[in-house]
Amino acid sequence: MEQTAVITGLGACLPPLVVGNEDLARSGLDTSDEWIVARTGIERRRRVTPGTATSDLGVAAARAALASAAVSEVDLVLLATTTPDRLCPASAPRVATRLGLAGVPAFDLAAVCSGFVYGLVVARALIRAEAYARVLLIGADTYSSIVDPLDRNTAVIFGDGAGAVVLERGPMDAAGAILDADLGSDGGGHDLITLVEGGSRYPARLGGTARQHRYLHMKGTDVFRYAVRQMTASTQAVLARAGWRADSVEAFVGHQANQRILNAVADRVGIAPQSRIGNLREVGNTAAASIPLAMAEAPGVRPGGRTVLTAFGGGVTWGSVGLTWPAAMPVHSEPAPPPDPQDERLP
């Protein structure tokens, strides 16, 4: 039988600090619990405390995924993130070494909120090509490090977290098998979700840019419309490739961005209400971590059940994957403490 990548382990890590909508309103942000719940579906989100970085969440989620798969070694580590610990170097090599995997190839993958879905497609291609037999894919983000606490357009939406999967070579009929995929991007939308200062166009050392350029900036209404249109089209493309009817999908996991976006996509595609998986209300938008975190918290999906994942993110990027629900039991973990206190200070 044709071989593919099969999810054999699933791990998750959420930082313990819970920030509720009322906390945001009390902190001086001009918003309210009623507005946030009605417009986004989010009630609370998790945030790191000072000293915890993306790699600390990623290491914890990765350890949990390795425990879930009952393995300790992999051939490749991929870290999907847009909030690496440092702009340079990538965070994946450090994560791999902290997992006891020094020597293994490791790189970051930047596709913003589509990063985890992009990572699944990259891992599947490398496994099918027999370049690597077992891949650890982590989606980890710490948007609290780039969100302006005074920008109500973004501060209410984003949370921190990490999710991870182990992918191994296996048959197409295994529970957790990646079957079909659709990826896309449109750089014409590059300024819809952006952090301007600190890149090579506007180096941080020059300083002096407006406040909105030092933080993540999002054109929310444009993102909303684009996300609904593209996640719908991408989901439909994967369903067509798989030859699945929408009402046969047992688990539909959309990028947890906004409940109104998720409802609009699922309604347009025709996904049954009981098949819509999500934890947005509890964790907000955790960017590259959102899909594996939602999978790890999904209640009682049948292993082998038809599953579609779909995402949309900055770039803009989008992607969907058709798979069967994995048999692996998810493992949850606390953030890993940084290995060296010096890491928390400037060198």
If the CB atoms of residues 36 and 62 are measured against ligand ACO, the closer one turns out to be 36
SS3 label, residue 67: helix
Contact 295, 330 (CB under 8 A): yes
Catalytic residue among 21, 113, 217, 279: 113
Using a 10 angstrom Cβ sphere, with 0-12 exposed, 13-18 middle and 19 or more buried, the burial of residue 188 is exposed
Query: What is the closest distance, in whole angstroms, from the C-beta atom of residue 60 to ligand ACO in the complex?
Result: 22
Which residue in this structure is represented by tokens 């993958």?
Answer: 109
If the CB atoms of residues 132 and 224 are measured against ligand ACO, the closer one turns out to be 224
Query: What is the closest distance, in whole angstroms, from the C-beta atom of residue 166 to ligand ACO in the complex?
Result: 25
If the CB atoms of residues 58 and 313 are measured against ligand ACO, the closer one turns out to be 313
Q: Which of 140, 122, 119 is nearest to 63 (CA)?
A: 140
Catalytic residue among 13, 21, 217, 255: 255
Q: What is the dihedral of CA 15, 20, 23, 29, to 10 degrees?
A: 100
If the CB atoms of residues 156 and 165 are measured against ligand ACO, the closer one turns out to be 156
Q: Residue numbers of the site for ligand ACO (CB under 6 A)?
A: 31, 35-36, 39-40, 112-113, 152-153, 156, 193, 218, 220-221, 223-224, 227, 257-258, 261, 285, 287, 313-314
- Residue 258 among the catalytic residues: no
Query: What is the closest distance, in whole angstroms, from the C-beta atom of residue 118 to ligand ACO in the complex?
Result: 12
- Concatenating the DSSP letter of every residue in 119-185 gives HHHHHHHHHHTTS-SEEEEEEEEEGGGTS-TT-HHHHTTB-EEEEEEEEEEEETTSTTBEEEEEEEE
If the CB atoms of residues 193 and 321 are measured against ligand ACO, the closer one turns out to be 193
Query: What is the closest distance, in whole angstroms, from the C-beta atom of residue 225 to ligand ACO in the complex?
Result: 9
Q: Which of 221, 62, 46 is nearest to 143 (CA)?
A: 46
If the CB atoms of residues 8 and 258 are measured against ligand ACO, the closer one turns out to be 258
Query: What is the closest distance, in whole angstroms, from the C-beta atom of residue 97 to ligand ACO in the complex?
Result: 28
- For residues 252 and 188, give the distance between their C-alpha atoms in angstroms, rounded to a whole number: 28
Q: Which of 226, 239, 305, 306 is nearest to 269 (CA)?
A: 239
* Tokens matching residue 283: 């964790």
Contact 46, 14 (CB under 8 A): yes
CB atoms within 10 A of CB 185: 17
- Residue 255 among the catalytic residues: yes
- Which residues are annotated as catalytic? 113, 255, 285
